[in-house]
Amino acid sequence: TQLLEQSPQFLSIQEGENLTVYCNSSSVFSSLQWYRQEPGEGPVLLVTVVTGGEVKKLKRLTFQFGDARKDSSLHITAAQPGDTGLYLCAGEGPNSGYALNFGKGTSLLVTP
């Protein structure tokens, strides 16, 4: 059973469009993290959200943590080809101690 469910699994859009990626769980997390992974590389941390209802912005990326701390979303405004990659959400799982539980990811392709 996947602790964190991400949707959509795949997303193909054109440059300039907006998009939202979702990360949902039935479990409560003390925090959630978003990573971006490019082919042949390891994931790179984008942001950590800690407080329920928290909104963080990173240039054109907006991250939100649900009030109940069970879900999160990533919104990208005016997507660019450089945003192409695999977006992963991760949380400190209830059974994994200090290791991270990852969602399966959303693969984003932005075409010029």
Partner 1 sequence: GAGVSQSPSNKVTEKGKDVELRCDPISGHTALYWYRQSLGQGLEFLIYFQGNSAPDKSGLPSDRFSAERTGGSVSTLTIQRTQQEDSAVYLCASSLELFPYEQYFGPGTRLTVT
98 binds partner 1 (CB under 8 A): yes
- Pick the binder of partner 1 from 73, 104, 107, 109 (CB under 8 A): 104
Segment 38 to 97, residues that bind partner 1, using CB under 8 A: 40-45, 48, 88, 90, 92, 95-97
* Cα 26 to the center of its chain, rounded Å: 16
Coil, strand or helix at 20: strand
Rounded alpha-carbon distances, angstroms, from residue 92 to 48, 52, 84: 11, 15, 26
CB of 30 to partner 1, least distance (A): 8
Q: Which residue type is seen at 5?
A: E
Q: Which residues bind partner 1 (CB under 8 A)?
A: 2, 31, 40-45, 48, 88, 90, 92, 95-105
